[in-house]
Structures are given as structure tokens and as C-alpha cells.
């Protein structure tokens, strides 16, 4: 008789994401994840198949979580411009240190080299752009979505650029850096 799972796959994948974000896709081990969830590496292999499969599932899991956020309507009672900045700052939490950004750049390297990972990366980018578009629609209710899409792409690209810029030469905390940079961009685009 099989033992019942004490942790759901989603709980294991959440922990695996934390480990992958901290150590990078090359440096993380099943033993690292095992230590985070108190399951043996053999149990992880049994549930997920391999380290590569666990990485794929964890990244897909992150996208499903983001998909749930994107599906929620933007709160129309709040200032959508301020809410957009706040959301992008919160979305940046995994990048809060230069070391974590370096680990994410290793994930990006895998995204570029592995077609399966690249599909996850593309989906993540699409989800972020969609959510930005929702905030823009709230800001400019009478503007067609087609006209807002290029702006959403631009804002997403600027957000990524600000994270890298902070990692290289930023002063203060990432949250403040992003808040100021995004406000400058939105002011230059929309006044």
C-alpha cells in the first residue's frame, strides 16, 4: 500500500522554485530540494523523474501561478498607474539581491538554449505583458487593446532592463529603484 503524500506536488514545486532561484538551474541539486521539503532525493525522482524534469515542472508551476494572477481583474477602485508599479515591484521579489539576479540569468541561459524552457520563458513574458495591458486598459478605458499592446511590451522590457541596471550600478534597494524608474517611464509615456 502506498503511503499518502504529506506534501502536494505544488508545495514541493514551490520549494523547488525557491531553491532554483537561489542556486540557479545548474547548481541546484535534488539534495537541496530534499532539504527544503524533507523528502528524500529518491522520493523526488519517483515523483518528478529527474532533476531536469523537476526544473521544467517548477518553471511551469511558476507560470500557472502567474496565470492565476493575470486572470484576476484589475481593481477599478484603485489608481491603476500606482497599482501597475506596485505589481511590477512585487513581481520582482525573486530578484531582490544581485546574487538572485545572477541565478536568474543562469535560468535565462537555459531558456535560450533549451526549447522547452524557452516556451516557459515566452509564456511568462506573455503573461506579464497581458497583466500590464490590463492595467493600461484601466488607465485608458476608451483605448483599443491593440494600441495598448506595444506599450505593454515596452513597459515589460523596461522593467527587465531596470532590474539589470540596478544589479550593475543601482543604489539603494531594488524596490525603490524600480518604483522610480517605472514612474519616470510612465510619466514620459503618459504625462
Query: Sorting pLDDT into bands at 50, 70 and 90, what band is 1?
Result: very low
Neighbours of 27 (CB within 10 A): 12
How far is residue 6's CA from residue 11's CA, in Å, rounded to a whole number?
Answer: 10
Once rounded to an integer, what is the mean pLDDT over residues 46-58?
A: 93
Residue 171 has pLDDT above 70, yes or no: yes
Residue 8 has pLDDT above 50, yes or no: yes
Percent of the chain whose predicted confidence (pLDDT) is above 70: 97
Q: Cα separations (Å) of 143 from 81, 136, 139? A: 15, 9, 9
User: What integer pLDDT is reported at residue 4 of this predicted model?
Assistant: 52
User: What integer pLDDT is reported at residue 57 of this predicted model?
Assistant: 93
Neighbours of 45 (CB within 10 A): 14
User: What integer pLDDT is reported at residue 27 of this predicted model?
Assistant: 86
Domain made up of 1-72: CATH architecture: Orthogonal Bundle (1.10)
88 contacts 159 by C-beta, under 8 angstroms: yes
98 contacts 159 by C-beta, under 8 angstroms: no
User: What integer pLDDT is reported at residue 157 of this predicted model?
Assistant: 97
pTM: 0.88
List the chain domain ranges. 1-72, 77-191
> Distance between terminal CA atoms of the chain?
65
Range in 20-29, 52-61, 137-146, 148-157 with the lowest mean pLDDT? 137-146
User: What integer pLDDT is reported at residue 144 of this predicted model?
Assistant: 75
How far is residue 159's CA from residue 87's CA, in Å, rounded to a whole number?
Answer: 11
User: What integer pLDDT is reported at residue 98 of this predicted model?
Assistant: 93
How far is residue 92's CA from residue 175's CA, in Å, rounded to a whole number?
Answer: 8
Same fold, 1-72 and 77-191: yes
Once rounded to an integer, what is the mean pLDDT over residues 111-120?
A: 91
100 contacts 21 by C-beta, under 8 angstroms: yes
Percent of the chain whose predicted confidence (pLDDT) is above 90: 74
The reply to whether CATH 1.10.357 applies to domain 77-191 is: yes
Average model confidence (pLDDT) for the chain?
Answer: 91
Once rounded to an integer, what is the mean pLDDT over residues 172-189?
A: 96
Mean pLDDT highest for which of 11-15, 77-81, 113-117, 141-145?
11-15
94 contacts 174 by C-beta, under 8 angstroms: no
Residue 2 has pLDDT above 50, yes or no: no
Query: Sorting pLDDT into bands at 50, 70 and 90, what band is 95?
Result: very high
Burial letters for 164-189: b for 16+ Cβ neighbours within 10 Å, e otherwise?
eebbeebeeebeebbbebbeebbeee
Amino acid at each position: 500500500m502506498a503511503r499518502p503524500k504529506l506534501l502536494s506536488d505544488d508545495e514541493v514545486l514551490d520549494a523547488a522554485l525557491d531553491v532554483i532561484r537561489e542556486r540557479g538551474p545548474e547548481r541546484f541539486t535534488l539534495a537541496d530540494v530534499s532539504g527544503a521539503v524533507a523528502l528524500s532525493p529518491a522520493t523526488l525522482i519517483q515523483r518528478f523523474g529527474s532533476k531536469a524534469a523537476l526544473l521544467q515542472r517548477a518553471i511551469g508551476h511558476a507560470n500557472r501561478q502567474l496565470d492565476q494572477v493575470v486572470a484576476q481583474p484589475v481593481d477599478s477602485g484603485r489608481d491603476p498607474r500606482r497599482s501597475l508599479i506596485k505589481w511590477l515591484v512585487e513581481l520582482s521579489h525573486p530578484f531582490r539581491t544581485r546574487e538572485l539576479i545572477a541565478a536568474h540569468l543562469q535560468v535565462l541561459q537555459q531558456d535560450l538554449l533549451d526549447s522547452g524552457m524557452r516556451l516557459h520563458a515566452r509564456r511568462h513574458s506573455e503573461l506579464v505583458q497581458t497583466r500590464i495591458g490590463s492595467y493600461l486598459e484601466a488607465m485608458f478605458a476608451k483605448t483599443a487593446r491593440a494600441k495598448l499592446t506595444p506599450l505593454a511590451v515596452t513597459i515589460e522590457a523596461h522593467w527587465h532592463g531596470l532590474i539589470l541596471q540596478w544589479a550593475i550600478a543601482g543604489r539603494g534597494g531594488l524596490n525603490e529603484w524600480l518604483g522610480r524608474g517605472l514612474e519616470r517611464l510612465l510619466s514620459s509615456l503618459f504625462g
